[in-house]
């Protein structure tokens, strides 16, 4: 069963695929759709999330394959830029291993390296929270404007609770490429946890060919916290133009 994909922009334009975070959905990328009208924006609901809630179970390898399939189906030349946040970043990193031929440029934010099972189990515990409790946790972690709260609520109200434990299991087995010939930008918010910041630094220094930057004043879901800066970062990266001056290289 294929995963759901939201499409915005002209079908014959350069394509950017946006991969959402854990417990969220394609709805979280609405600000980017609005700011990138000259691109074809494709945003799937990953397995066990949103309108793909009945597709699963969630695994990085299977999600990588499914996203590659939609790139081949919906893009003119079978390639796309890929932007992933958190869970979506982990899927994008898996794609670098499995299907680099469908990737043009890749940008990930808030992604993780392999975690000890004890730390990874925290993700599973989130599955016991109610949708409203999960939303409140997200709002505590990121300073998301009130106008964008419905975009978060749409995701937390449809995610399957099992997705959290399944992703926790995946975090204990994450594999990362040693090098990449696909331009790879690794970003992390200044207000992220130390674990996530360390993961970003580790990836940017151990993956040959990757570039790492810190984003001042933002947390985990910074595409909603600072949509203009996030979108400008995406646009700059995929067009090989200078990144916004606010970003700080590792």
Q: Taking a C-beta distance cutoff of 8 angstroms, is the pair 131, 154 a contact? A: no
Q: Which two tokens stand for residue 86?
A: 């958190």
d(CA 59, CA 38): 32
d(CA 130, CA 121): 18
- Which tens digit of pLDDT belongs to each residue from 115-149? 777 666 777 678 788 999 999 999 988 999 999 99
Instruction: For the chain, give every domain's residue range.
Output: 5-249
- Which tens digit of pLDDT belongs to each residue from 3-15? 999 999 999 999 9
- Which tens digit of pLDDT belongs to each residue from 143-196? 999 999 999 999 999 999 999 999 989 989 999 999 999 999 999 999 999 999
Strand partners, 119: none
CA-to-CA separations, 181 to 35, 63, 152, in angstroms, rounded: 28, 21, 34
Q: Taking a C-beta distance cutoff of 8 angstroms, is the pair 74, 7 a contact? A: yes
pTM of the model: 0.96
Class of domain 5-249: alpha beta
């Amino acid at each position: 069963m294929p995963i759901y994909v939201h499409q915005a922009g002209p079908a014959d334009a350069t394509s950017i695929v946006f991969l959402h975070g854990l417990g969220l959905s394609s709805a979280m990328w609405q600000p980017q759709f609005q700011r990138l009208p000259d691109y074809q924006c494709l945003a799937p609901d990953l397995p066990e999330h949103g309108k793909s809630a009945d597709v699963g179970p969630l695994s990085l390898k299977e999600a990588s394959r499914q996203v590659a399939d939609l790139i081949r189906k919906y893009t003119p030349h079978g390639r796309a830029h890929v932007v992933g946040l958190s869970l979506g970043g982990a899927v994008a990193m898996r794609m670098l291993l499995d299907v680099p031929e469908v990737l043009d440029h890749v940008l990930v934010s808030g992604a993780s390296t392999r975690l000890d099972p004890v730390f990874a189990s925290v993700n599973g515990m989130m599955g016991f929270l109610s949708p409203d409790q999960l939303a409140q946790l997200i709002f505590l972690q990121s300073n998301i404007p009130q106008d964008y709260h419905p975009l978060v609520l749409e995701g937390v109200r449809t995610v399957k609770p099992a997705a959290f434990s399944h992703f926790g299991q995946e975090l204990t087995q994450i594999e990362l490429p040693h090098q990449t010939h696909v331009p790879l930008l690794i970003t992390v918010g200044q207000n992220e946890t130390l674990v996530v910041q360390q993961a970003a630094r580790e990836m940017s220094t151990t993956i040959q060919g990757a570039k790492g930057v810190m984003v001042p004043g933002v947390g985990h879901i910074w595409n909603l916290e600072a949509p203009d800066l996030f979108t400008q970062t995406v646009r700059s990266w995929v067009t090989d133009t200078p990144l916004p001056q606010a970003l700080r290289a590792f």
